Structure 1
Amino acid sequence: MSIVGKLLGKTGSLRSLTRPFRKKARHLVRFRLARMKRARIGAEIVAITGSSGKSTATRLISRFLQTRFATREQAYQNTISACTQAILDATPTDEYLVIETGASVPGSVVEMAGLMKPKVAVVTMVNVEHRSAFKTIENVTKEKGALVEAVAEGGFAVLNADDENAIAMAERTKQRIVTFGHVNDADYRVVELGLGDSGTMELAIRSAHGTHRLSTKLMGIHFWPSVAAAFAVAVENGIAPETIAETLKDIETGYNRCQPYEIENGPTFIIDTVKAPLATLPKAFEVIRPLRAPRKRIVLGMLADHPGDSNTAYKKAYRWAAEVADQVIFVGEHAHRHKASAEEIANGRIVEMTTTEQAYAFLRDTALPGEIIFLKSAGVAHLERLALGFDHDVRCWKERCRVPETCQACGLYEYPYERHPQVRRQKKLARWGMRKAATSRESKSRPE
C-alpha cells in the first residue's frame, strides 16, 4: 500500500485519528438541520422514554394514531442520531411523529427533548439502566424527566402512577398530567389483568370514558404499562377506545421482545433477547409458567444492569429460572457463575455452554416437539440465532457481535461474520445499481 493509502485509506492512520472529530462534525450539522426543520414542520411529536416497555409503547401508540392520522414512527433505535433522522425524514403530510427516546449517557435525553419539544411525553417506568453511566436511579430519573420538562405549551405528559420516580416528574412541567396505573388510582387504571389460554395478555382499563376490555397478542402481563400508556395517549388524542381495542387484537410483539417463534414439528421458542436487566428477569420468566408443554427450558446469556458482583447476579438468575423451567442452560463466559449444586449439575437441571454455537448444537440434538424454550439475554449476545438456526442455515456465530440491530434486522446471519463487510458492500452496490437503472428508465420515458 502506498503512503497516501496508509494515511487516507479506510483503515489509514490519519482517517482513524480524525474519525471522532468527523463523527462529531456530522452530528452537529445534522442536529442543526433537524432543529431548523423542527421549527417548520406541522407534525405533533409524541416522545416515549422509560427503562422498559418504551419500544412496545412506541409501536402501539403509532398503530393507534394511524387509524385516524398520518403518523410516522421511530422505534427500536432510540439514540440522538435516530431522533434526528426521524425529524429530517418528516414530510409536510405527517400529522404525528412517534419517537422512542433512550437514555444512554447523561445529557442524551436532554438533547433529544430540546430538539423535539414534544406535544406528548410518555414515561413507562424508571429503573436503573446503563448502570455504568448513571450509577443511581436518581440520576436516571433526572435524565428521563427532561422529556417531561420539554413538553410544549398545550401538551401533556403521560406518567406511570405506580412508579414513584415517574409520577414525581409531574413537578417538572406546568402542562397537563395524565396518569396510568394498575395498583394506584389513575386516569387510566388497569382493573383486570390476566393471561388467555395461549399465554397472551388480556386486560381491562377503566377511565372517564368507561371500562374497556382489551385482548392482545403480547406474551406475559408485564406488557401492561406499555398498553395502558398507549391507550391513554390515543384516547387523549381523539381515538375511540373501541377502535383501539380492535386494532390491538392484531398487533404482534416486536422482534425478540417475548416473540413466539414456532418450529414446525419442533419446539416453540419465546425470544426475549433485546435486554436482560437483572431486576426484570422474574417477570420475564413468568411468561412461561402458565403455558402447557412437555418440557420448558430457559436459555440464559449475558445479564445487564445488576448491582454487586456477577456471581451473585447469575446465582439469582439461575434460581429464578429454575422455579419455572425444567432445565436451565447458561451460555457464554459467565456460564459457570450459576452456583448450582453438584446434584443439579449431575442430573442435567443446569447445563453450561461456552459459546452460542455449542448451545445451538445442544438444543438441536435434544429438542422435543412442542416444548417451550425461552431465550433471555442482553442484545449483544444475539441468542435469537438459537431459534433462527432451526429453520435457517445460520453461519454467523460471532460471540459479542457489536451490531446493535437484531439478527433479523441485520439479515446476514446466513453468512460467516468475517464476510459481513463484503456482503454489505455488495448489497449497497446492488441497491445503488438498481436506483441508477430506475433513474435511467425514468429519464428515457420522459417526453422530450
Structure 2
Amino acid sequence: SIIYVPNTLKALHAIARYRRLQRATEVVAVTGTNGKTTTKEMIAKVLEKRFRVLKSSGNLNNHVGLPLCLSQLNGEDFAVLEMGASQVGDIRQLCEIALPGTGVLTNIGPAHLEGFGSIEQVLKTKMEILDFVDRVVLNRDDHLLREALNWKEFHGKDVLTYGLQEGADIRAENILSGPEGLSFKVHVGGKVFSLRLRVHGRFNVYNALAATGVCKLFGCLDTVAEALEGFEGVPMRLEVKHLRDVTFLSDMYNANPASMEEALKELVAMKTQRAIAVLGDMLELGAYEEKAHRDLGEMVARLPLEVFIAVGERMRAAAEVVRSTVPERDVIV
C-alpha cells in the first residue's frame, strides 16, 4: 500500500518516535567529535553478551539514518545509537525522536565548524543530550567535557567518568601497544581487570573505557574483557593492512584536526624503517580551515617521517609549512 504524507521526513521521524514510545527499550546515545562509531560498536558488542541489542548501522547517525534504525525496534533490550551533528539543534532533534536514557560523550574538538561557527558551539550542541538522559558516561580527560561537569545541567544525573588520569571513575593504566593491538589494566569500582584489544591507537583505550562505563551502569562488567577481545575494529578507522613487507594504516573515513593527530601518532609509533604520510584535505572547518592545515603541517614537520604526500588544495598549506621547516624532507603535492 502507499500512504500519502505532506512531508516524508517528518513522517519518518513520527514513525520512529512512535515505535520507540511503544517499547521499553533502554536507549544509549553516543555523541562527540571523534570515536562515535567505534564506541557505539564496542558498547553493542559488550551488551550483546547478555542482552538483545539493536545498534545503528555503520555511521547512520543523522536525521535520516537514526530514525531508519529506530524504526527497526522489535523487542530488543537495548538500542545503541550514534548521534552526529553539524549545527546547533541537531542533537536535540535526534533525542526528541530516540528519547535516550543514557548518554555517552566521547570528546569535543574542531569539526563541522562551517555549521557550528566555533568549538564552543560544538560543545553546546553535544550537551543538548543532557536535557533527555538520566545517566551520563563522559571522557574526563577531555578538558572541555571536564570543565562542563560543573554545569547545572549535570545536577541530579548519574555520571560516570572515564580516562587515563587520576580522578576518573573508570581508569586505564599500564597501556602497551604491539603488533597485535593494545593491552592495559582497567580500574573500576574498586576492581581491576586486564583488557586486550585487537585494534590500534591510544584513542581506542578511551573507546573501550566508555563501553566499560555503560556496562558498569547496567551490571554487566563481567562481559567486557571477553567481548572486546573479539572486537576487530571498524572499516576505514585506523585499519592496519599488510602487503608484502609494507604496513598500511588506513584511516580514510573522515578527517578533522584531532583525528589526523591521532593517526599520525600511531603511524610514528608503528614505524620500523620508513614512514610515509599521505594526507588529504580536512573539510567543513570554516574560517579555521587554513590554520588547521598549517598547524597540521607543523606537526608533520616535527615527526620523524621520511615522506609527506599532500593531497588536495587545502593540504597545500600543510605542505608549505613542512617545506619551509624541514627543507630536506621529501614533500609531494
> TM-score over 0.5 for the alignment?
yes
What per-residue deviation string (whole Å, max 9, x for no partner) do you get for residues 84-124 of structure 1?
112111112x1110000011222110011122221211101
Residues 279 and 306 in structure 1, CA contact (< 8 A), matched pair in contact too: no
Q: Residues 313, 50 of structure 1: CA spacing in aligned structure 2 closer, same or farther, 3 A cutoff?
A: closer
Correspondence 1:238 to 2:219: yes
Q: How does 1:7-156 map to 2 (within 5 A)?
A: 25-74=7-56, 75-92=58-75, 94-151=76-133, 155-156=134-135
Corresponding residue SS for 2:27? strand
- The share of aligned pairs that are identical, in percent, is 22
Q: Which amino acid in the other structure matches residue 193 of structure 1?
A: I
5+ residue gaps, structure 2, are none
TM superposition shift of 1:306: 4.8
Q: Residues 325, 341 of structure 1: CA spacing in aligned structure 2 closer, same or farther, 3 A cutoff?
A: closer
Higher relative contact order (CA 8 A, sep 6+): 2
Q: 1:294 aligns with which of 264, 273, 279?
A: 273
Corresponding residue SS for 2:34? coil
Q: Which amino acid in the other structure matches residue 63 of structure 2?
A: I
Q: Where is the helix percentage greater, Structure 1 or Structure 2? A: 1
Cα distance in 2, alignment partners of residues 310 and 117 from structure 1: 35
Q: Which amino acid in the other structure matches residue 81 of structure 1?
A: V
Correspondence 1:262 to 2:242: yes
Q: How does 1:296-315 map to 2 (within 5 A)?
A: 296-304=275-283, 306=285, 310-315=289-294
Runs of 4+ off more than 4 Å: 305-312, 342-345
> For the pair shown, which has the larger CA radius of gyration, 1 or 2?
1
What per-residue deviation string (whole Å, max 9, x for no partner) do you get for residues 1-41 of structure 1?
xxxxxxxxxxxxxxxxxxxxx99811101111112111101
Which residue pairs with 2:206 in the alignment?
Answer: 225
Residues 199 and 290 in structure 1, CA contact (< 8 A), matched pair in contact too: no
TM superposition shift of 1:308: 5.3
Q: Residues 162, 39 of structure 1: CA spacing in aligned structure 2 closer, same or farther, 3 A cutoff?
A: same
Corresponding residue SS for 2:30? strand
Q: How does 1:349-428 map to 2 (within 5 A)?
A: 349-352=330-333
TM superposition shift of 1:280: 3.9
Which residue pairs with 2:312 in the alignment?
Answer: 332
Residues 199 and 220 in structure 1, CA contact (< 8 A), matched pair in contact too: no
Which residue pairs with 2:195 in the alignment?
Answer: 214
Cα distance in 2, alignment partners of residues 279 and 73 from structure 1: 26
TM superposition shift of 1:310: 4.9
Q: Which amino acid in the other structure matches residue 238 of structure 2?
A: C
Q: Which amino acid in the other structure matches residue 236 of structure 2?
A: N
Residues 39 and 211 in structure 2, CA contact (< 8 A), matched pair in contact too: yes
Cα distance in 2, alignment partners of residues 179 and 256 from structure 1: 28
TM superposition shift of 1:148: 2.2
Cα distance in 1, alignment partners of residues 257 and 6 from structure 2: 34
Q: 1:278 aligns with which of 257, 268, 290?
A: 257
What per-residue deviation string (whole Å, max 9, x for no partner) do you get for residues 311-354 of structure 1?
54333323323413211111122353311437967x661111xx
Instruction: Single out whichever of 248-257 and 62-71 deviates more from structure 2.
Output: 248-257
Tell me the number of residue pairs that the alignment of Structure 1 and Structure 2 aligns.
Answer: 323
Cα distance in 2, alignment partners of residues 84 and 38 from structure 1: 10
Q: Which amino acid in the other structure matches residue 220 of structure 2?
A: I
Cα distance in 1, alignment partners of residues 92 and 187 from structure 2: 33
TM superposition shift of 1:63: 0.3
Corresponding residue SS for 1:80? coil
What per-residue deviation string (whole Å, max 9, x for no partner) do you get for residues 154-198 of structure 1?
x41111222243242563143311111222402112233331x21
Q: Which amino acid in the other structure matches residue 247 of structure 1?
A: A
CA RMSD of aligned residues (A): 2.4
Q: Residues 33, 318 of structure 1: CA spacing in aligned structure 2 closer, same or farther, 3 A cutoff?
A: same
Q: Residues 248, 23 of structure 1: CA spacing in aligned structure 2 closer, same or farther, 3 A cutoff?
A: farther
Correspondence 1:202 to 2:183: yes
Which residue pairs with 1:176 in the alignment?
Answer: 158
Cα distance in 1, alignment partners of residues 36 and 105 from structure 2: 8
Q: Which amino acid in the other structure matches residue 264 of structure 2?
A: F
Q: Which amino acid in the other structure matches residue 176 of structure 2?
A: G
TM superposition shift of 1:239: 1.4
Q: Which amino acid in the other structure matches residue 276 of structure 2?
A: R
Q: Residues 130, 335 of structure 1: CA spacing in aligned structure 2 closer, same or farther, 3 A cutoff?
A: closer
Residues 199 and 232 in structure 2, CA contact (< 8 A), matched pair in contact too: yes
Q: Which amino acid in the other structure matches residue 82 of structure 1?
A: G
Q: Residues 140, 334 of structure 1: CA spacing in aligned structure 2 closer, same or farther, 3 A cutoff?
A: closer
Q: Which amino acid in the other structure matches residue 140 of structure 2?
A: A
